[in-house]
Structure 1
């Protein structure tokens, strides 16, 4: 585990500014530590040897202590603001990168694990910036200044510190190797707990229907116990390593103190110098001890940031840059010999598929479940990259165009449309944020959802709506766009015959090019042309 991951500095400007500020504060803190020790040694020796007043020294000491407190406060403020800025930057970068990677990549990730990573996981960076990194900077600046000043008064004591000081980083490195494994284990346990709990909650209705809800209690207890064991193992290691580092530092300071005491008794060392060395010796070891103490608090955040960088360093699929996207209102769309193969699957999801989609026509894709019908839509949208073959529009391959501009040509309704918490109007406007109430109302009417009011509340993932209502809201979201082509994956699934007839009638009146995946006879009969997708049944890509 690296003390300072250079990827944080490259990807977050706030981290670079924070590091620079911490260095300046560390240098100032080191100077004040030396000044404080000099004043204390001089004041005590003056009282003991010369019975002098300490008023002036006391005021100077008060100023130094106030200065150190102010620097500590400033360090805390900068650290908290830097941590918030870095977390915000990393979250934004992960979300943007995930969107660019597309549904094909997201289907291989656990959504609950990714959510936990971007919330609780990155929150563990707070102790890294607020506690560990400042101490790391102090450990790199304070001991050098302290030992250098000690050498001006007592070379033997300074030499003792120089010899014993490196032992602490050596033990810290050994502890770090063990801590890295424990932290990763704890992060994995947390991800499993979050994923399992989310699955249980989302499927609670089904579990209760089949009388299996109570049976999941044991599974939840098991994954919770695994997380508890991993967390306690990390704490146990933290306590033991802190004990070792404290013991090592105490023995080192004791060696310095014994040598100073003997030389003081023998008269080879003055009282003021001896006091200076004794005061400075613990200050030389303190930053390194604090680094060891804070290391474990920050280890979880560092482990989470490594997982973030795993996502950010996932290579993006090749993307086109052309902006002259042809208008599909008047341009045909062609698929030539398209073959798509998903990772870790032997059989292709789509094998040598050809399709011509002409402006204004309605084409139905039929075939057995898992034959690749949804994959056809994903290939057109650029969510999956064909192993070979090409999607062509206007004589150019679709992958030559900027993905965002290309996808503006399409309104899409996936197999499992996602709805967010809000109102019906809020969800429809996801297709076109500036749509008026009248335009939203018309889209709902065309989707066969005339009975739904615009202000009807919608829960997370479409809760409070029936399955058929969710699908019609998703269809209205596609219809409210200006997209010339609609890609609809079983748009009437879950609808009764009357509602299905209303949807079919509404689609026919749009005049748009429509490519739909269909199993139901009414939807197939409404198409101008039916294309069969024949392939070996395989798992459909989650969308």
Structure 2
């Protein structure tokens, strides 16, 4: 896929609201051209009253016409602004909806890579900022290209010298804008990058406040945030300095150019080379000739801001998402289908589709081959960063492999609709998320059609019904953000109940009992074993009890499979595995003695 630059991305979005945007520009053309008639009528009235001895009553129709032109310009400019606002607002709305849907398709791996705070900032402040591109910059650009040209067409036949001065001085303004813009555009992008980093840093600090307090690092973290804020302030001031400098310089060029026209006309009037009407008419048109060029200075700053803000939005738009398959292929019978990983290689940068100079090559899996038989329990073990979580992300279709294929029975996983496929999977992470709402709402998220009785039944089998009933309002107890109000162990048990309520044929687990005490763990683990019987279970395992019960143990390191066998065989084959088991046995022994 060819990567778009931010401004190309912004231009693409014009099609989302093409009609109002065109209407705004065409109406602005009419309002801009009306200034010629306005200047003509005003020059005629002043010339008639001052030099032609025309009576006031004779001027009345011209005064009325002048008032009508003033009103016409005001109303048409108001209409143009309203259409521009409507176009920008519609693009904002459609862009937010489309990018939100794109993020849903990209999944949690992409969001974790980019940072949720940076993405949120882009979808809120970023989209608000790029609206200026459509509301301010594009209409101003259109006016700059048409109105001065129309004025030159009128001025040249009347006075070629004034027309020539306008023609020579006009290009100085856009040339200066281009020269300034080259540096300012990069500064705007840097400013938005600093804002995104600061947003991620701030969110991490808020979410990790308890950890910071525990380690006495609040003051240190506050200083780091102050440092980030100061860096962002400096970048912002740098951008504003360029904006103010460009505005002052554009005003200077415009004022000098108008003054030059006025001086030339004054001398030529004194020398009787042109009449008063012609000179005054051109003098009235001179500020209007440079007005769109001056306005473009402000609009050009809006363009640079928009390009800076569009960088992360462009990245979201260009990232490769997992799209629903066009074919109608049903999920195979998972009680009989074998899951096969065939020569799978996966890189994290492959998912984000960043520009080549931004890519940090990181291979997560290298030429992986796995066969998972139905209704078996697979344990994935190995050090941190070995690629275990990537295996689960591939099965969940949160990411796509760079090369190789995954087959479910005889069907390539890419040919399955990702939403329908995920309905066949229950997922229990080590750090599950609970949402604001009741305990019942959070458990029923696993199966929206489940009745209260179904929820109670699963909770009783998992031996957590009594614990939930003991809460202030039982299943109706409100849970705060991220499970606020209950302990980590309680949160984990509710998440386990949510997963098993789905009753899916495939269960993916990241050591779901790791945060529980030994006694509760044994109680819950026996219930998990019972509920997962007759299903395909793939677990990222750390506990000896989980590892020993597995039908197949896959030992991974640095994105490769080191060993793939049963517990008894691995003890004999692998010194690393034997050391891991001995360490776990020592840990269990120490905990037993401490009771």
TM-score, scaled to structure 2: 0.82
**1:274 maps to what in 2?**
279
8 A Cα contact 1:12 1:89, kept in partner: no
**1:214 maps to what in 2?**
219
Flag the 1:337–1:32 CA change in 2: closer, same or farther, 3 A. closer
| Larger relative helix fraction | 2
Q: Deviations over 1:285-335 (max 9, x none)?
A: 001101102322442222112331122123446975443233444332322
8 A Cα contact 1:486 1:512, kept in partner: no
Question: The residue matched to 2:212 in structure 1 has which SS?
Answer: helix
Deviation of the 1:265 alpha carbon: 1.9
Deviation of the 1:173 alpha carbon: 0.7
**1:52 maps to what in 2?**
55
8 A Cα contact 1:488 1:517, kept in partner: yes
**1:533 maps to what in 2?**
554
Task: Name the stretch that deviates more: 126-135 or 516-525.
Answer: 516-525
Q: Does 1:173 align with 2:196?
A: no
The partner residue of 1:508 within 507, 530, 533 is 530
Q: Deviations over 1:229-262 (max 9, x none)?
A: 1111111111111111111011111121122122
Q: Tell me, in whole angstroms, the C-alpha distance in 2 between the residues paired with 1:435 and 1:146.
A: 72
Q: Tell me, in whole angstroms, the C-alpha distance in 1 between the residues paired with 2:156 and 2:219.
A: 70
Q: Does 1:22 align with 2:37?
A: no
Flag the 1:218–1:145 CA change in 2: closer, same or farther, 3 A. same
Count of residue pairs brought into register by the alignment: 535
The partner residue of 2:542 within 516, 519, 525 is 519
**1:373 maps to what in 2?**
388
Deviation of the 1:338 alpha carbon: 5.0
**1:382 maps to what in 2?**
397
8 A Cα contact 1:340 1:387, kept in partner: yes
Q: How does 1:378-457 map to 2 (within 5 A)?
A: 378-386=393-401, 390-450=405-465, 451-452=467-468, 453-457=474-478
Q: Tell me, in whole angstroms, the C-alpha distance in 2 between the residues paired with 1:422 and 1:460.
A: 9
Question: The residue matched to 2:552 in structure 1 has which SS?
Answer: strand
Q: Tell me, in whole angstroms, the C-alpha distance in 2 between the residues paired with 1:434 and 1:413.
A: 20
Q: Tell me, in whole angstroms, the C-alpha distance in 2 between the residues paired with 1:170 and 1:96.
A: 41
8 A Cα contact 2:334 2:374, kept in partner: no
**2:576 maps to what in 1?**
none
Deviation of the 1:441 alpha carbon: 4.2
Question: The residue matched to 1:241 in structure 2 has which SS?
Answer: helix
Q: Deviations over 1:68-90 (max 9, x none)?
A: 22222222322222222212222
Q: Tell me, in whole angstroms, the C-alpha distance in 1 between the residues paired with 2:418 and 2:298.
A: 49
Q: Tell me, in whole angstroms, the C-alpha distance in 1 between the residues paired with 2:554 and 2:168.
A: 75
8 A Cα contact 2:47 2:277, kept in partner: yes
The partner residue of 2:123 within 118, 125, 150 is 118
Flag the 1:444–1:82 CA change in 2: closer, same or farther, 3 A. farther
Deviation of the 1:12 alpha carbon: 4.8
Question: The residue matched to 1:464 in structure 2 has which SS?
Answer: coil
Q: Tell me, in whole angstroms, the C-alpha distance in 1 between the residues paired with 2:326 and 2:527.
A: 38
**2:372 maps to what in 1?**
356
Deviation of the 1:92 alpha carbon: 2.5
Question: The residue matched to 1:533 in structure 2 has which SS?
Answer: strand
Deviation of the 1:62 alpha carbon: 2.1
**1:465 maps to what in 2?**
486
8 A Cα contact 1:113 1:191, kept in partner: yes
The partner residue of 1:492 within 480, 501, 513 is 513
Q: Tell me, in whole angstroms, the C-alpha distance in 1 between the residues paired with 2:298 and 2:475.
A: 56
8 A Cα contact 1:22 1:137, kept in partner: no
Deviation of the 1:369 alpha carbon: 4.7
Question: The residue matched to 1:107 in structure 2 has which SS?
Answer: helix
Runs of 4+ more than 6 Å apart: none
Task: Name the stretch that deviates more: 513-522 or 434-443.
Answer: 434-443
The partner residue of 1:192 within 177, 197, 212 is 197
Q: Deviations over 1:159-190 (max 9, x none)?
A: 22112111111111111112102211211221
Deviation of the 1:125 alpha carbon: 2.1
Question: The residue matched to 1:411 in structure 2 has which SS?
Answer: strand
The partner residue of 2:232 within 220, 224, 227 is 227
Q: Deviations over 1:357-382 (max 9, x none)?
A: 324x5444445554443333223223
Deviation of the 1:3 alpha carbon: 13
Question: The residue matched to 1:412 in structure 2 has which SS?
Answer: strand
Deviation of the 1:219 alpha carbon: 0.9
Task: List runs of 5+ in structure 2 lacking aligned partners.
Answer: 349-359, 469-473, 561-595
Q: Tell me, in whole angstroms, the C-alpha distance in 2 between the residues paired with 1:368 and 1:6.
A: 44
8 A Cα contact 2:331 2:416, kept in partner: no
8 A Cα contact 2:106 2:399, kept in partner: no
